[in-house]
């Protein structure tokens, strides 16, 4: 009888252990199925007000909301450094690469690395300028803007304000004497903003005269300040308009003008918080919203989809154009509507 009870007890324990094993199995499978997506990302230069102040925090915010991990590094405006960072991300086995190019003319190098590693690649903010680069790989997409639009919108604002303010024409010659703070030479946004902002005057039949133009590879406030101070010393009251490819350089121009007690109409691009404050205080006449938050959201949305084997824009409101690009629209920001963007 005791022996029979012992056998029954042993069988009961075996069944209990088997039951526990069958209960633990599904939880292990679920854990594997929900393994965290990892995106390897960079910012071309943390010194860029817009990229490090708006886009980078937004990437982290949307990655957290999506329950994924994003590692963001600073390429310090060095293409070779970016190349090495991409190699490290590939070695770490990231699920997606989100790359803010240093040199848009070197996109093929990054695309080829991603292709050889079979890792989906999302380029953002700086669009490849090499012909056919986006056709090299079926798993590469771009998130950014239509570069010309910022210049067109900025130009239209300036033309409307020039017509509405005859006193801006200090010498009464009917010609706009301007200085222009340009961004990084060769950057698609810098080139397009420069061309189309001035073209708006030509299209409106208003003559223009460029007193000076200076590129800044860092799009920096310090650079804008130094150059504007020099121009004020050289041209003085001849300057009737200050055109800036971004808000950061406009901030520098405003600082230089304040130091010399001068007020000249100035326009930027990005609609950073400080720009809105300057508009509120009458120190800046307009800017253009470069919607970095939505660019970041699009990067994360596409990244999650492609890492999961889905169509890039599945379940989103984004659309892709003929060159596999998501275009986030620009918006004019003026003294009349700036409060809407605070």
The reported pLDDT for the residue numbered 72 is 98
Share of the chain above pLDDT 70, in %: 90
Domain boundaries of the chain, sorted by first residue:
38-145+291-328, 148-289
> What value does the mean pLDDT of the chain take?
90
- Res 206 pLDDT > 90: yes
* Confidence label for 342 from pLDDT (cuts 50, 70 and 90): confident
Q: pLDDT, tens digit, for every residue of 52-91? A: 999 999 999 999 999 999 999 999 999 999 999 999 999 9
The reported pLDDT for the residue numbered 22 is 35
Q: In the structure encoding, which two tokens stand for residue 216, read together?
A: 């800044």
Range with lowest mean pLDDT among 28-42, 121-135, 303-317: 28-42
C-alpha triplet 135, 140, 141: angle, nearest 5°: 100
- Res 3 pLDDT > 50: no
- Res 10 pLDDT > 50: no
270 by Cβ neighbours in 10 Å (0-12 / 13-18 / 19+) ranks as buried
Share of the chain above pLDDT 90, in %: 87
* Confidence label for 35 from pLDDT (cuts 50, 70 and 90): confident
340's enclosing H/E stretch is none
The reported pLDDT for the residue numbered 235 is 98
Count of Cβ atoms closer than 10 Å to residue 87 Cβ: 12
Topology of the domain comprising 38-145+291-328? Rossmann fold (3.40.50)
The reported pLDDT for the residue numbered 105 is 92
Partners of 124 in the β-ladder: 143
**Mean pLDDT, rounded, for 296-322:** 97
Cα–Cα distance list, 126 to 100, 103, 122, 139, 258 (Å) = 6, 8, 11, 17, 33
Alpha helices in 127-246 (DSSP H): 147-164, 188-203, 221-235
* Confidence label for 116 from pLDDT (cuts 50, 70 and 90): very high
Task: Calculate the CA dihedral of residues 88, 90, 93, 97 and round it to 10 degrees.
Answer: 110
The reported pLDDT for the residue numbered 16 is 40
* Confidence label for 46 from pLDDT (cuts 50, 70 and 90): very high
The reported pLDDT for the residue numbered 31 is 34
The reported pLDDT for the residue numbered 9 is 37
> DSSP letters along 95-145, please?
SEEEE--S-GGGHHHHHHHHHHHT--EEEESS---STTGGGS-TTEEEEE-
Distance CA 156, CA 207 (A): 15
- Hey, what CATH class is 148-289 in? alpha beta
Q: pLDDT, tens digit, for every residue of 212-251? A: 999 999 999 999 999 999 999 999 999 999 999 999 999 9
The reported pLDDT for the residue numbered 173 is 97
Asked whether the domain spanning 148-289 has the same topology as the one spanning 38-145+291-328, the reply is yes
Count of Cβ atoms closer than 10 Å to residue 195 Cβ: 14
The reported pLDDT for the residue numbered 49 is 87
Residue 182 three-state SS: strand
**pTM of full prediction above 0.85:** no
- Res 28 pLDDT > 90: no
- The residues, any chain, with a CB within 8 Å of residue 81's CB and separated by 6 or more, are 75, 102
- CB-based burial, 137-160: b 16+ in 10 Å, e otherwise: bebbbbbbbebbbbbbbbbbbbbe
Tell me, what DSSP letter sits at residue 270?
A: B
CA gyration radius, the chain: 27
- Res 2 pLDDT > 60: no
Distance CA 210, CA 230 (A): 15
């Amino acid at each position: 009888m005791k022996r029979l009870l012992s056998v029954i007890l042993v069988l009961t324990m075996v069944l209990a252990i088997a039951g526990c094993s069958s209960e633990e199995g599904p939880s292990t499978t679920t854990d594997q199925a929900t393994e965290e997506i990892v995106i390897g990302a960079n910012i071309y230069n943390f010194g860029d007000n817009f990229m490090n102040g708006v886009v980078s925090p937004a990437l982290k915010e949307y990655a957290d909301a999506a329950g994924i991990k994003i590692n963001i590094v600073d390429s310090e405006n060095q293409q070779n450094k970016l190349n090495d960072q991409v190699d490290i991300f590939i070695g770490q086995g990231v699920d997606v690469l989100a790359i803010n190019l240093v040199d848009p003319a070197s996109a093929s190098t990054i695309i080829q690395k991603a292709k050889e590693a079979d890792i989906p690649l999302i380029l953002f903010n700086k669009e490849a300028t090499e012909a056919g680069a986006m056709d090299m790989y079926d798993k590469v997409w771009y998130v950014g803007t239509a570069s010309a639009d910022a210049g067109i919108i900025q130009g239209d604002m300036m033309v409307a304000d020039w017509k509405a303010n005859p006193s801006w024409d200090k010498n009464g010659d009917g010609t706009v004497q301007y200085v222009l703070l340009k961004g990084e030479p060769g950057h698609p946004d810098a080139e397009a903003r420069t061309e189309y902002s001035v073209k708006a005057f030509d299209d409106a039949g208003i003559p223009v005269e460029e007193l000076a133009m200076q590129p800044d590879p860092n799009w920096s406030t310090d650079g804008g300040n130094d150059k504007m101070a020099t121009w004020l010393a050289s041209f003085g009251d001849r300057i009737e308009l200050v055109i800036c490819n971004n808000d950061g350089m406009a901030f520098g121009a405003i600082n230089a003008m304040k130091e010399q007690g001068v007020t000249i109409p100035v326009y930027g691009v990005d609609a950073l918080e400080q720009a809105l404050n300057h508009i509120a205080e009458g120190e800046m006449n307009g800017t253009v919203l470069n919607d970095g938050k939505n660019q970041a959201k699009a990067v994360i949305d596409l990244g999650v989809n492609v890492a999961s084997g889905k169509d890039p824009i599945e379940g989103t409101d984004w659309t892709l154009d003929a060159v596999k690009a998501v275009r986030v629209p620009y918006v004019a920001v003026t003294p009349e509507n700036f409060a809407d963007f605070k």
